[in-house]
Amino acid sequence: MELTHWILIAVLVIAVFYAIGIYNKLVTLKNRFENAFAQIDVQLKRRYDLIPNLVEVAKSYLKHERETLEAVVQARNQAAAALEGASANPGDAKAMGNLAGAEGALGSAMGRLNVVMEAYPDLKANQNMAQLSEELTSTENKVAFSRQAFNDSVMEYNTYRQSFPPVVFAGLVGHGEDASLLQFEDREAIQEAPKVEF
């Protein structure tokens, strides 16, 4: 074989290993953002589990506020269903949008519940309610941190996928679309620390 053949073979081998490296990094980054979403999933499920307990404690005090309690339960159930859809395909734009909308509705319902509870000092002083509100506040903080980690991982994946030369190979190996961030419509409210007062 001539030297040019050896050079051509060496270039092809290098190109193949380079393409394999790009593919492996895409897979690694995708797995990283999917794992980050799994952390959100865990925290949101914990939050969804706390809400019915909160409603149960509040029921005996809020006998005339049944509509508000039902709205919280319904919003919680819709958010849980949206989370299932998002968990099946983390990063999918439609799934992330559905989850963001459901979380916004849940936040709004919880806000109305907080306003109603302000009128019931005995409820605010209840030990179970105080413990639940503390757990809910802690969980809200964990959700916020998990969401930030997810969005950071998605951004890293998207940035790498869109850069050259990975952009050339990404579509060919099943990484043709950007992953979507988990963003909420009321960004100003998200910037503030969660307030859970009972």
Top-tier CATH class for 3-191:
mainly alpha
The residues, any chain, with a CB within 8 Å of residue 40's CB and separated by 6 or more, are 143, 146, 147, 150, 182
pLDDT band at 195; cut points 50, 70, 90? low
The pLDDT, as a whole number, for residue 198 is: 45
The pLDDT, as a whole number, for residue 139 is: 92
How does DSSP assign 4-72, residue by residue?
Answer: HHHHHHHHHHHHHHHHHHHHHHHHHHHHHHHHHHHHHHHHHHHHHHHHHHHHHHHHTT-TT-HHHHHHH
For the chain, which residues make up each domain, given as ranges? 3-191
pLDDT band at 164; cut points 50, 70, 90? very high
pTM, to two decimals: 0.80
